[in-house]
């Protein structure tokens, strides 16, 4: 199995990058949708229903599969021989960033449910601030992998 991972390394790496880009697009867009939802719709009106459909489809059809694919291909890369030096700091900072990104993904999912129920306490400004979380985590992850510090 380990030898097979080495043979498909470039394919795994390419698929990992594609899935990360897809996941990141959703992580950037969903909080922005929440801002518009909070600021432009009231529970039960037609705009509320449209935002709920958009948010559900983005999360379930794009973000969830992209997150799963990111994890699967990422773990395949981790187990490919010679790719990760666990004695270095970078794999640990990257792993911390990925865990943070996963937490943020699930935090957004919980807020989507609250918006659907009309119980969300986060303001538009709060979602604007939270929209910076994936940017910070992305910087940590990319610098960790590229600079290998």
- Report residue 149's pLDDT band, with 50, 70 and 90 as the boundaries: confident
Residue 119, φ and ψ in degrees, nearest 5: -115, 10
CA distances from 43 to 48, 50, 93, 111 (A): 6, 11, 41, 14
Q: What six digits make up the tokens of 107?
A: 């935090």
Single out the residue of 23, 8, 38, 2 nearest to residue 105, CA to CA.
23
> What Rg value do the Cα atoms of the chain yield, rounded?
18
- Report residue 122's pLDDT band, with 50, 70 and 90 as the boundaries: very high
Reported as a single tens digit per residue, the pLDDT across 28-69 is 999 999 999 999 998 889 999 999 999 999 999 999 999 999
Reported as a single tens digit per residue, the pLDDT across 123-144 is 999 999 999 999 999 999 999 9
> pTM value?
0.94
Cβ neighbours of 111 (radius 10 Å): 22
Q: Domain segments of the chain: what residues?
A: 2-147
């Amino acid at each position: 199995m380990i030898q097979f991972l080495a043979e498909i390394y470039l394919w795994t790496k390419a698929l990992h990058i594609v899935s990360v880009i897809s996941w990141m697009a959703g992580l950037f867009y969903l909080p922005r949708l929440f801002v518009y939802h909070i600021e432009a719709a009231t529970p039960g009106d037609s705009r509320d229903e449209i935002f709920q459909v958009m948010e559900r489809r983005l999360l379930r059809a794009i973000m969830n599969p992209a997150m799963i694919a990111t994890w699967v291909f990422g773990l395949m890369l981790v187990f490919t021989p010679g790719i990760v030096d666990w004695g270095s700091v970078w794999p640990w900072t990257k792993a911390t960033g990925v865990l943070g990104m996963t937490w943020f993904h699930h935090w957004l999912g919980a807020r989507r449910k609250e918006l659907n129920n009309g119980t969300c306490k986060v303001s538009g400004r709060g979602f604007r601030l939270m929209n910076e979380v994936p940017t910070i985590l992305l910087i940590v992850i990319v610098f960790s992998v590229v600079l290998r510090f």
